[in-house]
Homo-oligomer: A and B are copies of this chain.
Amino acid sequence: MTRPLVTLLTDFGVRDPSAAICRGVIFRIAPGAEVLDLTHEVRKFAIRDGALMLWSALPYLPVGFHVAVVDPGVGTSRRPIAVRMGRGDILVGPDNGLLLGPADRLGGVDVAIELVAPEYRLPVVSTSFHGRDIFAPAAAHLAAGVPLEALGPWLDPATLVPSPLPAPRSIAGGLATEIVYVDTFGNVKLSALATDLVAAFGPPGPGAVFDIGPAGGDGDGMRRLPWAATFGEVGPGQPLLYEDSYGRVCLGVNQGNAAERLGLVTGMELELRPV
């Protein structure tokens, strides 16, 4: 029989031992589980970055128990929750939108509960490390076979804080779309998916070209970029628009760093117009 999978995504950083402590807590409770670190280098307190990474990663993983902790509200009244998705995954973490990021890729929210049962927490619950004291133990007990409903009362999914991932907006002759993430290669990921682009403008053909620049500007910062199927279609150091391996519209530079080269940062809103 396959071992159950538990994944961890946090903003704890790889220097501090916090993430390893969560793994240790899981190993104590569910020694037969396979534990996979998605990342512990989410930008501090950046709920949306974490939501996007879950959206990217979880569809490629087996159905599992996924702990996610980017939690600026730890110790306040924000609820600790577990959410079961249509595909069967259970996500565990704070009720701040983080867990709902990947919902549309996992079959949507099926049921949600509030994690309150003391027998599935550590004996002492601190005010600042719920990853260790509440979330990791919950996922481990679930992986060890405890039924979801044992961990706390049902919550109405409509009361959960919604996903922080924004959608692109139609504007006259184009799309307005926010930069949602810059990856470690400097590739710039937009809120628009390739399907959004196709819905707005039809499928980009060979040689398609777009103007892209700051939304609502006077057009001075616009750049004309080719739509390319591979980085290799443009020369080294040249920029391009492309669909990344998750189906998202991105700006890249062949063998270079697009964010640095084009002066782009997370949170900027851009306009995208076919030429």
Name A13's contact: one of B7, B16, B184 (CB within 8 Å).
B184
The SS class assigned to the A binding surface is loop
A 63-93 to B, binary, CB cutoff 8 A, 1 in contact else 0: 0000000001111100000000000000000
A12 within 8 A of B: yes
Chain A 1-17, CB-CB to B under 8 Å as 1, else 0, gives 01101010100111111
Q: Which of A37-45, A104-112, A168-176, A216-224 contacts B (4 or more CB under 8 A)?
A: A37-45
Q: Which residues of B contact A160 (CB under 8 A)?
A: none
Interface residues on chain A, size class: 35 or more
Residues of A1-58 whose CB lies within 8 A of B? 2-3, 5, 7, 9, 12-17, 20-21, 23-25, 27-28, 31, 34, 36-42, 44-45, 53, 56-57
A41 CA to B19 CA in the complex, in Å? 13
A45 touching B245 in the complex, CB below 8 Å, given contacts A15-B184, A17-B39, A62-B24: no
Least CB distance from A50 to B in Å reads: 10
At the interface, yes or no: A127 with Cβ under 8 Å from chain B? yes
Given contacts A24-B60, A24-B61, 16 further A-B contacts (CB under 8 A): A2-B31, A13-B184, A14-B40, A16-B184, A17-B38, A21-B56, A21-B61, A23-B36, A24-B36, A24-B62, A27-B34, A27-B61, A31-B34, A126-B245, A127-B245, A129-B244
Mark A187-209 against chain B: 1 for CB-CB distance below 8 A, else 0. Answer: 00000000000000000000000
Q: Which residues in B have their C-beta under 8 angstroms from that of A266?
A: none
Complex Cα distance A24/B39, Å? 13
What's the Cα separation between A123 and B244 when bound, in Å?
16
- A14-B14, A39-B17, A60-B24 known; A231 vs B184 contact (CB < 8 Å): no
- Contact of B24 with A57 in the complex, beta carbons under 8 Å: yes
B245 near A128: Cβ-Cβ < 8 Å: yes
CB of A119 closer than 8 Å to a CB of B: no
Closest to A50 in B: B17
Q: Whole-angstrom distance between the alpha carbons of A74 and B255 in the complex?
A: 10
- A273 at interface by CB-CB < 8 Å: no
Given known contacts A28-B61, A184-B15, A184-B16, is B36 in contact with A231 (CB within 8 Å)? no
The complex places the Cα of A17 from the Cα of B184 at a distance, in Å, of 10
| Residues 112-141 of A contacting B (Cβ, < 8 Å) | 126-129, 132-133
Interface centre among A3, A7, A9, A20 (most CB of B within 10 A): A20
The interface residues of chain B lying within 8 Å CB-to-CB of A149 are: none
